[in-house]
Amino acid sequence: MITSLNIKYSQKSDLLEMKQRFENHPPGKTLIQVFSGHVTKADVERLLHDLTEVFQGTPIIGTTTAGEIMDGLVEENTIVVNFSFFDSTTVRTTSVDCYDDLWVAGKILARNLKSAAPQTLILLGCGLKDGRTIDATLLLNALYEEFPQAVIAGAQAGDNGHGVISYVFTEDGIIDHGAVVASLSGQSLSAHNSYNLSWVPIGKKFTITKASGPRVYSIDNRSPLDLYNHYLGPEVVEGLPLAAADFPLVIERDGIPMAIHARGVNEDGSFDYIHSFHSGEQVQFGFCHSGLLAIAAKQIFDELRVHPAQVAFIYSCVSRKWILGQDIHVEITPISTLAPTAGFFAYGEYFTHPIGKCFFFSQTMTVLTLAELDEPEPLVYSHELKPFITKEESKQLKTLRVLHRLVETSANEIENMNNKLSEMAHEDCLTGLFNRRHFNRQFTAEFKRAQRSGEPLSLILIDVDAFKLYNDTYGHVKGDSCLRAVATVLKEIPQRPSDFVSRYGGEEFICILPNTSFEGAMLLAEKIRQDVIKLEIPHISSTVSTHLTVSIGVQTVEKITDQRTPEAIVMMCDEQLYAAKMNGRNRVCGNRVP
């Protein structure tokens, strides 16, 4: 059994009653969590001094916040202290104060906790670096790699929206550039988590056309600033980046929809986002409604009440609080009917998904429930439980879904019509390059022109290495994004009006370079190869590299004679591509003939 109690701390005496009440409870089976709306280091130091003095040897983890949650209520500028007393679960804490390499930081935390064999990890990370929100994906990946059976939950520290500095701490000290974690281990421990996004994609799809990590330079070949101004209007643009929280970019990764908002606007019109993007990925603007958030919270309730719960920890993005305003309680209150609740509003949330992956979310509410059970958890199916949502709320949800379907269907019809028009205009609808049919016509025309002029003609044939394995590993949606990313590199090739780039078929692309020497074609092919590597698209299944690569064949015919045909030149180029593959891939092989 877990006994969970919350208090508001203002002075040392507030802690003494709890100490007296649980004087004989083992410190190693106790976890103290602190959610502090007092965000200065001096406030945190005073609080931590009192806690460690009163509860000597007791594991503590804490964080500064952008709002606190206590027993179903939302608090501001308070300090909420949660005490969880376990009957049989063992608690350990550790920390890392090196945050420059998040993967290494995660491995350090994992190494410190390896002997504990944790079943649940509650992770609190510093949310800011250089005034901008940290993307904790690598930290979570490193932890999850070591503890794939554990439920990892928690969130990133806030500082009441100032965006300057945040703190996390354990009983051993305070950190402004790192993370702390509490490990929970015990055979009787039952842990479950759920999440609520509620933002739905709406309107047309856009393609990321140039990105470097979290910095996006162009979307649909226009700056993000221009795109936001065109579709969302000056009212949103004037309030960037904060105003973008209302209309985040929604992207699907690993089949999971995620909302990603801008965290910085640069002078060149590019945006810095809380997550990284790759060229070729597709996004839509997201839309949400306070009623939809409230209903979704009750849906989380229905998911979680299937499992026993003796305490619930809520980690919600601060942007949800900004958008809901006074109505924020409608998202929090249903959870408090399950079990005693505590938590905070954060700068990003951590979530272990049933698909077998740990995610860093933004603009999301996540909930972790814990219980200690004397017997195995009974099986209860959610469809056997009476829905918690009222008829009126169900009607509202239905109306919102119909509205979303109306807009989305209209956008899809327009997109399909544009795809058909693109095909008629010789364009490959996936990549935006010319299609194979148009290549055949164009190459025949260039072949005849070179035959008349006596000028050289070069071809470059590109193949994405191990693309079938990429699709098998990441799925076809990611595969499409991968091809679009390569296409963005190839779109930079044409230096003259006569240069021509096309999708040749599947994962192959082809370039026509009239009046181009063999040396010039080889230099350009090598640039393509290196630029694809610079995309830094992960490809863990490749036998060539940990990131996406291409193999390239180059063929130059210095003078077209009557004995040669367009088909023969393409075949010679394909032979060079085959040679590049046979010699280890991720390379350029070429040939020239008189």
- Helix, strand, or coil here: 452? helix
Q: Are 396 and 362 spatial neighbours (Cβ–Cβ below 8 Å)? A: no
Tokens, residue 438: 């148009």
Give residues with Cβ within 8 angstroms of 41, minimum separation 6: 167, 174, 176
pLDDT digits (tens, 9 = 90+) for 382-398: 455 555 555 555 555 55
Q: How many CB atoms lie within 10 A of CB 582?
A: 10
Q: What is the mean pLDDT of residues 317-344?
A: 85
Position with higher pLDDT, 109 vs 306: 109
Lowest mean pLDDT among 285-294, 396-405, 452-461: 396-405
pLDDT at residue 405 greater than cutoff 90: no
C-alpha dihedral (413, 415, 416, 421), degrees to nearest 10: 130
Q: What is the mean pLDDT of residues 444-462?
A: 92
pLDDT at residue 210 greater than cutoff 50: yes
Start-end of H helices in 429-543: 436-453, 467-474, 476-490, 518-534
Amino acid at 344: F
pLDDT at residue 504 greater than cutoff 70: yes
| Rounded Cα distance, 525 and 591, in Å | 12
| Rounded Cα distance, 252 and 187, in Å | 36
pTM: 0.76
Position with higher pLDDT, 324 vs 206: 206
Ramachandran region of residue 586, left (φ > 0), alpha (ψ -120 to 50) or beta?
Answer: left
Position with higher pLDDT, 439 vs 494: 439
Q: Are 66 and 345 spatial neighbours (Cβ–Cβ below 8 Å)? A: yes
Mean confidence (pLDDT) of the chain: 88
Nearest to 167 by CA among 105, 175, 123: 175
| Rounded Cα distance, 82 and 92, in Å | 16
Position with higher pLDDT, 130 vs 80: 80
List residues bridging with 434 in a β-sheet: 427, 502
Percent of the chain past pLDDT 70, that is, above it, reads: 90
Pairing of strands 151-156, 120-125: parallel
Query: In this predicted structure, what is the pLDDT of residue 509?
Result: 96
Nearest to 577 by CA among 456, 460, 434: 460
Position with higher pLDDT, 578 vs 292: 578
Amino acid at 123: L
| Rounded Cα distance, 110 and 117, in Å | 10
Start-end of H helices in 88-245: 102-113, 137-146, 224-232, 234-237
Percent of the chain past pLDDT 90, that is, above it, reads: 61
Number of helices (H) and strands (E) in the chain: give both, helices first. Answer: 15, 32
Give residues with Cβ within 8 angstroms of 208, minimum separation 6: 216, 218, 219, 277, 278, 279, 280, 281, 282, 283
Q: What is the 3-state secondary structure (H, E, C) of 298-366?
A: HHHHHHHCCCCCCEEEEEEEHHHHHHHHHHHHHHHHHHHCCCCEEEEEECCEEEEECCCEEEEECCCEE
Q: Which residue has the tokens 């930081």?
A: 105
pLDDT at residue 149 greater than cutoff 60: yes
Reported as a pLDDT band with limits 50, 70 and 90, residue 46 is very high
Q: What is the 3-state secondary structure (H, E, C) of 172-190?
A: CEEECCCEEEEEEECCCEE
Query: In this predicted structure, what is the pLDDT of residue 382?
Result: 47
Catalytic residues: 507
Start-to-end Cα distance in the chain? 84
Reported as a pLDDT band with limits 50, 70 and 90, residue 408 is low
Query: In this predicted structure, what is the pLDDT of residue 399?
Result: 60
Lowest mean pLDDT among 120-134, 249-263, 317-331, 494-508: 317-331
Q: Are 15 and 54 spatial neighbours (Cβ–Cβ below 8 Å)? A: yes
